[in-house]
C-alpha cells in the first residue's frame, strides 16, 4: 500500500471527507480491517481565505508548495489537495516536488467519461 499525502485544512470538513473516502477505499481494496496510509498537512484556512480574497495566488502557491514538500519529505508517494479551488495551485506544486500530484477533477472527469455519462452533478456533504 502506498502512502497518500493530503494537503488539508481547506476546510477541515473536506479533509475529513477525503480521509474517510480513502479509508473506505482501502477497506474495499484490501479487506479485513485495513486502513489507508495517509499523511495530512493541514494549512490554516484563515490564511488561505485571506489570500484568495486578495487574489494573492503567488502566496497561495508558496503555502501549498511548502505543504507538498513537507509531505514528500515525510514519505508520501503522491499528493491530493483537499479542495477544488486550491487545485489552482497544482502546477506550482507539481513543479516543486518529484512525486505525483493527483488532480481530483481530472480523476473525476475520467470516471465520468469511462462511464459514458452525458451529465454529472456534485453533491455537497
Rounded mean pLDDT, 21-31: 94
Pairing of strands 3-8, 78-81: parallel
Separation between Cα atoms, residue 76 and residue 40, nearest integer Å = 10
Predicted local confidence at residue 124, as pLDDT: 53
125 within some domain: no
Within a domain: 121: no
- Write down the residue that cell numbers 508548495 correspond to: 65
The CATH number of the domain holding residue 10 is: 3.40.50.1860
What is the pTM assigned to this prediction? 0.85
Instruction: Give me the domain span that covers residue 15.
Output: 3-114
Nearest to 50 by CA among 38, 59, 61, 37: 59
13 belongs to a structural domain = yes
Residue 125 confidence (pLDDT): 47
Whether 76 shows a pLDDT value over 70: the answer reads: yes
Q: Is residue 96 part of a domain?
A: yes
pLDDT tens-digit readout, 81-116:
998 888 889 999 999 999 999 987 676 767 777 778
Asked whether residue 123 is domain-assigned, the answer is no
Asked whether residue 68 is domain-assigned, the answer is yes
Does residue 110 fall inside a structural domain? yes
Q: Which is nearest to 21 in space by CA: 38, 33, 7? A: 38
Asked whether the beta carbons of 22 and 36 are under 8 A apart, the reply is yes
- For residues 114 and 12, the model is more confident at 12
- Domains of the chain: total: 1
Amino acid at each position: 500500500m502506498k502512502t497518500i499525502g493530503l494537503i488539508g485544512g481547506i476546510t477541515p470538513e473536506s479533509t475529513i471527507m477525503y480521509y474517510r473516502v480513502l479509508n473506505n477505499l482501502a477497506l474495499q481494496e484490501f479487506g479485513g480491517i485495513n486502513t489507508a496510509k495517509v499523511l495530512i498537512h493541514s494549512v490554516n484556512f484563515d490564511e488561505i481565505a485571506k489570500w484568495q480574497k486578495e487574489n494573492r495566488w503567488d502566496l497561495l502557491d508558496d503555502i501549498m508548495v511548502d505543504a507538498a514538500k513537507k509531505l514528500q519529505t515525510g514519505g508520501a508517494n503522491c499528493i491530493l489537495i483537499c479542495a477544488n479551488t486550491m487545485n489552482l495551485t497544482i502546477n506550482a506544486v507539481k513543479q516543486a516536488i518529484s512525486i505525483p500530484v493527483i488532480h481530483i477533477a481530472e480523476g473525476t472527469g475520467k470516471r465520468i467519461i469511462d462511464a459514458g455519462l452525458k451529465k454529472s452533478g456534485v453533491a455537497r456533504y
